[in-house]
Amino acid sequence: MYDVIVIGSGPGGYVAAIRLAKLGKSVAVIEKAQTGGTCTNVGCIPTKAMLTASHLYTDIQKKAARFGITVTECEYNLAGIMKHMGKVVAASRKGIQFLFKKNGIDYYEGTAVVQDRETVKIEETGKELQGRNLVLAHGSTPVVFPPFSDVEGIWTSDDVFRMDAIPKELVIVGGGVVGVEFSTFFAALGTKVHLVELLDHILPTEDPDVAKVIRKSLTRQGVDIKEGHKVSAVAKTAEGYVCTIDGKDGSQHEVTADCVLLVVGRRPVIPDDVKQLGIQIGRGVVTNDAMQTSIENIYAVGDIRAQIMLAHVAMAEGIVAAHTIAGQSKHMEYSATPWVIFSSPEIAATGLREREADPEKVEVAKFPLMANGRARTMQERDGFVKILADKATHAVLGMTIVSPNATDMIMEGVLAVRYGLTVDQLVEAIHPHPTLTETVLGALEVAEGMPIHL
């Protein structure tokens, strides 16, 4: 009998398994698809590999001449981009498999079917495994609904990574993180993109000033952004698709495109065998902050919980579950969760957002990217750092960065929010010059009331 059986090898599952092994537990992992789950195969890793290529292509086209570099010919090759993506994905899979082997974890390929709270059968082989504890890490799948589910060939995010040609015209339904990232990629390669968002602005989970910068950037790339609109009908034709788009003002028009990409979110995978266990299920599998379900020896991590569906959150939950199973006290803390978007410029945020803040109690301080010396050397102007601080204690409550490399820079904010650091403490930390991190210092000085570079 294993100490733990982990179902799913995505970020939550594989991290839980490895930590459990390091804590001295015997572990089996069962995976029905590819090692690494959504993130490695049809999410974070392949998307960023493709965006890295498109960002480089854009920079060469738009910046080379400004930097005194003559490029006589610059063309992209989709097959080459997809080959790069495939190599990165394969390396990530092999890396996880190597870590399983290194840590003595038994890896089984096949569909896990939970028989009872200690027994899991592999459907394809009939092999039964016994485990004192189970970790459910089944992941998620793209949301699809009418009229899109009724039309053949509509893309979800999973399908993009199998394409063999760049569409000339594309309708993207959903202006959230994934919709914005794919708009960035396809527009960079010359696709005419129509981005349709039902809510009042793209990136609806972020503040309007963040959305404004990205809207401006995408519009410059030729993206047709329709906010407050929905696709009410889709018809397949010999040439592609005709989408009927309705506005909140009662307007209606049609857009013809080669492809339609639906990216309005993901839903947890909760198969019948899991439901039949009798564990509590709401929007997803319900756990406490130690990742324990309503059955004491069964845990759940990652997207199956349908809470914060991010790879790095799943990893953190996997760590917490592992230590809980090992008898140690460890609990999840979500208040300083970083959110990152690989748009152009990038976006990263943590903690409180301005739209959530009480202006009587919270100070909002902003510093523009254009005032930063390193940004000027990079020919970058669009973006800012925004800091939210408690007026009484000066504790940093939130940070939003819109800038090149924002996804790397946000950790200063994460640590500040997580550990209750104050504006004064961060200002006293010397920031290297010339770097983009000085925009964080600039915003801190604004919050302090003594800006230098404004």
- List the one residue out of 356, 371, 311, 357 whose CA is nearest residue 337: 311
Q: Is the dihedral of CA 38, 40, 44, 48 positive or negative?
A: negative
Residues with catalytic function: 433
Structure tokens at 360: 């009587």
Parallel, antiparallel, or unpaired: how do β-strands 169-173 and 106-109 relate? Answer: unpaired
Q: How far apart are CA 147 and CA 450, in angstroms?
A: 55
Residue type, 49: A
Q: Assign residue 264 a region: left if phi > 0, alpha if psi is -120 to 50, beta otherwise?
A: alpha
Structure tokens at 368: 């523009």
- List the one residue out of 402, 403, 441 whose CA is nearest residue 423: 441
Structure tokens at 409: 């820079």
- List the one residue out of 430, 301, 216 whose CA is nearest residue 13: 301
Q: How far apart are CA 253 and CA 246, in angstroms?
A: 7
